[in-house]
Amino acid sequence: MGTVPGGLCLGPRRCRALLQLLLLGLAVGAQDLLPPTAAPWSRDPGLRARAASSPSSLQKLWGRFPLQPGPQGAGPRCWFHGFWSEPQSPWFIFGGGTQLTVLDQPKSAPLVTLFPPSSEELQVNKATLVCLMNDFYPGTVMVAWKANGTTITQGVETTQSSKQRNNKYMASSYLTVTPDQWISRGTYTCQVTHEGSTIEKNVSLAKCSWSPTLTPYAET
């Protein structure tokens, strides 16, 4: 008979059965097929009471398994009384930190649109390029900015992905430069990487339909 620190004694058969139920509940609960009250071992009042009085022991026991749930709010959670899943796309962490995302809909590449600085903005000695990404799934993208093929890191701000009404995601990235840099650097590129595929959009002053008239910058 095995003894879990904290005084919870389990025989070999119960240990094996508990492990099987834990893994089965995690797999099934991630697909919204196992409600909280359906966890088989949660029907044992005695075990439930002991678990409530010694949560740290069961947490340590669960921590010894190689498959662990993601942090709170990131997917299915498991506690002493059973398993349940949340509406977010579930993910799990294996071993040293490999992330597994469980998809609940087909993958979708982002639609990328790159906007140059507006003429109104250039009139006040500002220049912001805007890269919009829409309708992608899953909701993780990486954005890189380039000027004539050279990566730019200064002046870059990228928002976190947010869910659209169609359950896909959107995000935006901004590159702020001076009007002189916008005019002299030539071609700017917004490079978006999603699920191993890369999409690039380019814009340059020569491709714009307007010719900016810059207002001299007045130092104070």
Q: Are 212 and 122 in contact (CB under 8 A)?
A: yes
pLDDT at 82 (0 to 100): 35
Is the pLDDT at 205 greater than 50? The verdict is yes
- Name the pLDDT band for 126 (thresholds 50, 70, 90): very high
Q: Which domains does the chain have, with CATH numbers?
A: 2-90 (no CATH), 111-207 (2.60.40.10)
- As to burial, measured by CB atoms within 10 angstroms (0-12 exposed, 13-18 middle, 19+ buried), residue 81 is middle
How many other C-beta atoms are found inside a 10 Å radius of the C-beta of residue 26? Answer: 21
**High-pLDDT (> 90) share of the chain, %:** 42
Lowest mean pLDDT: which of 12-16, 85-89, 200-204, 210-214?
Answer: 85-89
Q: Which pLDDT tens digit goes with each residue over 50-89?
A: 545 544 444 544 444 444 444 444 444 333 333 333 334 4
Beta strands in the chain (DSSP E): 2-4, 8-10, 67-69, 77-79, 82-84, 91-94, 98-101, 111-115, 127-136, 142-147, 150-152, 156-158, 162-163, 169-177, 187-194, 197-204
Is the pLDDT at 127 greater than 70? The verdict is yes
Higher pLDDT, 101 or 218: 101
Average pLDDT over residues 34-58: 47
